[in-house]
Amino acid sequence: MSRGDLILIEGLEIATVIGIYDWERDIQQRIRLDIEMLWDISKAAASDDIRDALDYHAITTRLLEYVESASFGLIESLAEGCAGIILNEFSVPWLRLKLSKPLPDLGMKHAAIVIERGVLPG
């Protein structure tokens, strides 16, 4: 596998209940996911067939289902859950995931974390 092939999902916004404060537990907030996934694209490029590609539509649909159907206290918990789905259900060997949560009440546009999970080849 080439170390350089990345599939990106950028700016995926999903409404969910997230936060530790009482007022946050009563509302939905829009989080943003930016995801880089290692994937060898050579087979899909040669065949031009979705069956040989990493189906980012299927990943997006699964993440929407997961995030919208649950509630989370910490962005760390949500990031780990999303990473686990991608790694385990879609056999992605490595990913970098950035999760942003708006925090205008604290004078900032977003709080965010970036995690890397999986194994880089070679």
Residues marked as catalytic: 101
Give the position of tokens 């070679």. 122
Kind plus residue range of the DSSP H or E element containing 82? helix 75-89
Q: What Cα–Cα distance (Å) separates residue 12 from each residue in 31, 46, 56, 60, 115?
A: 8, 28, 11, 8, 16
Nearest to 63 by CA among 15, 17, 18, 26: 15
